[in-house]
Amino acid sequence: MARLADDRYGKSAVRVFKLERGDGRHTVRDLTVDIELTGDFAAVHTAGDNRGLPATDTMRNVAYAIAADGPLDSLPRYAARLVEHFRELERVTGASVEVREHPWARLGDAAFERGHGGTRVHRCADGAHGGGIEDLLVLRSAGSGFSGFERDRFTTLPETEDRIVATIVTADWDHDGTPDESAWGAVRETLLAAFHDAPSPSVQFTLHRMGEAVLDAHADVARIRLVLPNVHHLPFDVSRFGLDDRGEVFQPTTEPFGRIEATLER
């Protein structure tokens, strides 16, 4: 006998792009929405009874409809409206929405380029809000080293007090209450400032400094989790080509890579 221990379902990767043409100066919001529901749906699995089951196609349509219904000027409010809509359905007991924003930089009143500086993430699950950032590529070309670490007969990495450190920051954090629309940008700026405002003896130290800075500066953030992969930049010896090697040329590598992860909370 098999027992259905857990089930959930939803619609993933719903691409929502909204263009608002206000007074000739356009505004765009480019989103990817993931929706996940839990509820009294055991009979769908065990008996093939689909009564009361919202179709995932309907979930997609709701994401577009709510985006169209008024200004899309706050991701927290947008995510909360989606959750509220699905929680009103009879058999739904839990609703979780994750929204990723893909930034565009303005070139003019009606022209844009795909912005750089991290993908915005906002989560809302049954009234609890969380923020996040993905694909935030940052680099330090000075003020970073790595020395004093454990050595044995397998260790070949030289110690250094001057190296390039690059990482692709992934972070997620929990808010106490509903954050303002400006909260995500403020946390991002805190992370960026803390990445380079002090000497770094290790990526671990820098990660901790970034998380600590967010908790210090943003009273409504209860916890933050950071993942910082080490995007290695290996010195490339050009002297083999008869050139003067001034230590200016590096080879970025994608794998293997170090992965540093930690959670800080109050």
User: Catalytic residues, which ones?
Assistant: 11, 56, 232
| 155: alpha, beta or left? (left if phi > 0; alpha if psi -120 to 50) | beta
| 120: alpha, beta or left? (left if phi > 0; alpha if psi -120 to 50) | beta
**Cβ pair 264, 212 in contact under 8 A:** yes
Q: Whole-angstrom Cα distance, residue 128 to residue 80? A: 9
3-state secondary structure of 158: coil
Q: Whole-angstrom Cα distance, residue 127 to residue 33? A: 17
| 112: alpha, beta or left? (left if phi > 0; alpha if psi -120 to 50) | beta
One-letter amino acid at 221 equals: V
Phi, psi of 201 (to 5 degrees): -80, -10
The distance from CA 259 to its chain's CA centroid, rounded to whole angstroms, is 16
Q: Whole-angstrom Cα distance, residue 150 to residue 239? A: 31
